Amino acid sequence: MPYYIGDVIKDEKRLIARTPEKFRETGVEVRIDARVEEVDENTGEVRIADGERLPYDVLVLGTGTTPLMPGIPGEDLEGVFTLKKFTDAVRIKAWLREFPCRKAIIVGAGFIGMEMAEALRNLDIETRILHRGRLPVNRWDPEFSQIVLEELRRHDVDFVTDAEIRAVEKGKNHRLRLVTNHGEAEADMILMAVGVRPDVALAKQIGLPLGKSGAIGVNFSQRTVRENIYAVGDCAESFHRVSGRWVNIPLGDIANKQGRVAGRNIGGGTMIFPGIVGAQSFKVFDLEVAATGLSEWEAAEAGFSPAGVLIWGNAIAGSMPGNSKLGLKLIADRATGRLLGAQAVGTAGAVSRINTLSAALWAGLTLDDVGWLDLAYAPPFSGSWDLIHVTAQTLKRQI
């Protein structure tokens, strides 16, 4: 999960240094800058980078993800960043503070790229996104990705499609130069935001089985195949309640929940993590972008026979001032009418609809239910038929 530039408290270093102190009060010892190099299951010890060995009774792997790097010459030059950890955000902020940064390049058009484009434009930095495809955020329907693209352009973000990056070099007028199939471009910082993969190095060393997703396999108690080793967060799998499969969706709220479940079970209680439905969202400038459940492609993969419909409507009653366009796509199974997924984009009301539909997915509701859900209607908040109803009933008729 990204840390928002706006999120990071002023004295970041003091904050980091204070963390162990804060935890000590609760009887927990926190070591920072202490990379675990090896787990020795025979002695029940972990060895940290400086050689020190620490004993454990129970081990929790919360190793997170590693940002993918493109693997091009010069990608390790100063001024080339990834954004995964809190300290990445601290480093980026320090860089922006230290040197007058006028131009930035973001490689990748996922939600980290979108959020960072907004953050950089808010600092008045000239921002360019290089993307290997034609549209940003391909988890969403192309019609919605097009809206996101327009929002980027409306805020003067330069979006370069079909881009291949080849090398990073020292720049002339700016600190860096990026060589691409479209020629060269200079910038004062380059953010590599091309994705992440679960960090399973330690898990592999221990010999823990990984799931098909490449993340660590766990059960509903967040336990791995070893009685005393748990895994939580971005490095672990989650049960997807719609597809019925174990997946890896690295998001902060899932990590939080899994941490609580592991902690409770280790502490002698019992708690299960009942799974996810794939709800996610991001904000880019004035746009809410959200999705839940399965895309059509994922639904077909999972063995469903998906049908989808995308409808544009209003976030609030048409008669109210400040009305704004909202798009909703629903995906359902042709055979059973079961809701499988949803996507929404709009200046307001997108996340709200997706959360309502996430509860519907959680419960396994069909279009017959979704088309008649009783929602809290008042003109400032929706039409008397909400876009949820209209879209569900339209899709139902089409199936």
**Binding positions for a second copy, rule: CB under 8 A:** 4, 6-7, 241, 251-257, 273-283, 288, 290-292, 317, 319-321, 351-352, 354-360, 362-365, 368-369, 372-381, 384-386
Q: How far is the CB of 111 from a second copy (least distance, A)?
A: 8
Minimum distance, C-beta of residue 196 to a second copy, in the bound complex (Å): 16
- Quick one: tokens of 36? 């675990």
CB of 352 to a second copy, least distance (A): 4
The residue assigned the tokens 């990590």 is 255
> Following DSSP, what letter does each residue of 129-170 receive, concatenated?
EE-SSSSS-TTS-HHHHHHHHHHHHHTT-EEE-S--EEEEEE
131-137: long-range contacts at Cβ-Cβ below 8 A with a sequence spacing of 24 or more? 131/159, 131/160, 131/161, 131/162, 131/163, 132/162, 132/163, 132/164, 133/109, 133/161, 133/162, 134/161, 134/162, 135/109, 135/161, 136/109, 136/110, 137/109, 137/110, 137/111, 137/289
Nearer to a second copy, 42 or 270 (CB): 270
Q: How far is the CB of 252 from a second copy (least distance, A)?
A: 5
Q: Which of these, 221, 250, 253, lies nearest to 236 by C-alpha position?
A: 250
Task: Output the smallest distance, CB 241 to a second copy, in A.
Answer: 8
Q: Which is nearer to a second copy, 81 or 273 (CB)?
A: 273
Cα distances (Å, whole numbers) of residue 119 to 96, 197, 398: 12, 24, 41
Q: Least Å distance between CB 152 and a second copy? A: 17
For the record, the structure tokens of 65 come out as 């993800």
Least distance from C-beta 363 to a second copy, angstroms? 3
Least distance (Å) from a second copy to the CB of residue 67? 19
Of the pair 180, 382, the CB lying nearest a second copy is at: 382
What would the two tokens of residue 71 be? 């693997």
Pick the closer one to a second copy by CB: 233 or 306.
233
137 within 8 A of 145, measured Cβ to Cβ: yes
Q: CB of 73: closest distance to a second copy in angstroms?
A: 35
d(CA 95, CA 91): 6
The answer to whether 353 and 387 have CB atoms below 8 angstroms apart is yes
Radius of gyration of the chain (CA): 23
Task: Say if residues 395 and 330 touch (Cβ distance below 8 Å).
Answer: yes
Nearer to a second copy, 177 or 396 (CB): 396
Contact 148, 141 (CB under 8 A): no
Taking the least distance from each CB to a second copy, the nearer of 144 and 273 is: 273
* Beta strands 45-48; 36-40: pairing state: antiparallel
CA distances from 242 to 60, 202, 238, 333 (A): 27, 30, 12, 11
- The nearer residue to a second copy, 8 or 311, going by C-beta atoms, is 8
187/316 with CB nearer a second copy: 316
Residue 12 Cβ vs a second copy, minimum distance, rounded to whole Å: 13
165 versus 370: smaller Cβ distance to a second copy: 370
Tell me 236's DSSP state.
Answer: B
Instruction: Compare residues 108 and 293 and give the one whose CB is closer to a second copy.
Output: 293
